[in-house]
Amino acid sequence: MTRTTRIWVTIGCVSLPTGCANPSADHVGFESLDSAGVRIVMNAVPEWNPEEQWRVSSSPMQVLRARNGELDEALYGVRGAVRLSNGQYVVANGGNHELRWYDAGGRFLQRVGREGGGPSEFRSLTGVAHLGADSLLAWDRRNRRVSIFTFQGVYLGSLPMELSGRVQGVFSDGSLLVGETVGSDDNGFVRNQIVARRFHPLTGKTDSLGVYAGDEQIVQIQVDGSTVRVRGLQAPFGRAGVFTVRDRAYLVSSQDRFEIQVHEDNRLRFILRVDRNPERVTAEDIAAFQHNMLSWLDGPNVASFRRELQEIPYPEVFPAHGVIITDAAGRIWVQEYPKPWEPQVAWLVFDEELRLIAAVTLPAELQVYEIGEAYVLGRWRDDLDVEHVGTYALLKP
């Protein structure tokens, strides 16, 4: 049971409390409080005034680059990037297991780390994040540890992390949100689960955060005598569990509908919702998906893969949204579900009170790592499939 406590009207990109007797239904948001004290914020998507929309620059304002002629400094297998308070950048280059520093102008400065199990070495460098005001935290999945560096690249030490899951974010105290996927034993169209934990590197303590819906797969179990083969295919337009961290809280969504839960101090505190239904999957969408998948293949396997794409089940609706990220000011950015054949994708931006304040269009190929007050930092590939990291200018009215 819920009780409505506030109504507001969204005008352009600004949410204002209102006492209007007849507000437009397309611009109304509602707040309510359920019986457990969870605050629910329902948003409606308005028709944005183009002059008031946020936007990014048409091309990157900064691209991190190697020194002339240094081919070994090309980026590949990038797993994350951050911008430091002094304007420098640090990139987790997973392809050769090293952290790379760039100055504020994007020029290469130094590399730290290499493949191995010794100090400042990595076997599977899978991310980098801020740790306090002057340190960095890098995690290594295969070595099962996290390593700490100064902003200058000085190695301070490593701490064991006896968890096999994927790091989903870093809390303000340096603890990590880790999600471990648990597969299903069923055959056919299944949905895995994610076991979420909070890992404290300095103490080794692990807190359980619950079990959430994970990614959808098509599982094919084949039995040939005493041999059992299990094949898992990523479901087309499949939903997944998406997570991010904001200060002491973590956010999670199953993508079933546009609903994001905000958990803090081991309790569900807030629910952010958008008042709309997921978009329906059409025959044209399925055809575009199949064409996009086949465009990456050639040779004798194309025909069999085409048959497989025609036979697998397709959902009736797309996931309600894409990934979630929080920016430097604590705002929540939610990606619209990205269709791989479309060149751009919209992001909805919510303020700290979970109210929708802006919509921003970004290149669909941009994997966003960090959002500041005036920039979006991410990775993209060019026409030759070469990886680049850099920033787009974030422009606000």
Residues 309 and 271 reside in one and the same domain: no
386 and 305 within one domain = no
**So what's the pLDDT on residue 148?**
95
- Quick one: pLDDT at residue 56? 96
Domain count, the chain: 2
Task: Check whether residue 301 and residue 348 sit in a common domain.
Answer: no
Contact 112, 106 (CB under 8 A): no
What's residue 162's pLDDT? Answer: 84
Residues 384 and 288 reside in one and the same domain: no
369 within a domain of the structure (yes/no):
yes
- Distance in angstroms (rounded) separating the CA atoms of residues 181 and 232: 13
Task: Report pLDDT for 45.
Answer: 80
How deeply is 296 buried, as exposed, middle or buried, from its count of CB atoms within 10 A (0-12, 13-18, 19+)?
exposed
Neighbours of 306 (CB within 10 A): 14
Spans of the chain below 70 pLDDT: 1-28, 68-72, 220-232
pLDDT per residue over 105-124, tens digit each? Answer: 999 999 999 999 999 999 99
In a domain, 361, yes or no: yes
Q: Are residues 29 and 116 in the same domain?
A: yes
194 within some domain: no
HSE of 65 in the Cβ direction (CA atoms, 13 Å)? 10
Residues 291 and 361 both lie in one domain = no
12 and 135 co-located in one domain:
yes
- Per-residue model confidence (pLDDT) at position 146: 94
Which of 38, 40, 29, 34 lies closest to 7 in space, CA to CA? 29
Q: Quick one: pLDDT at residue 130?
A: 93
265: left (phi over 0), alpha (psi -120 to 50) or beta: left
Distance CA 330, CA 102 (A): 26
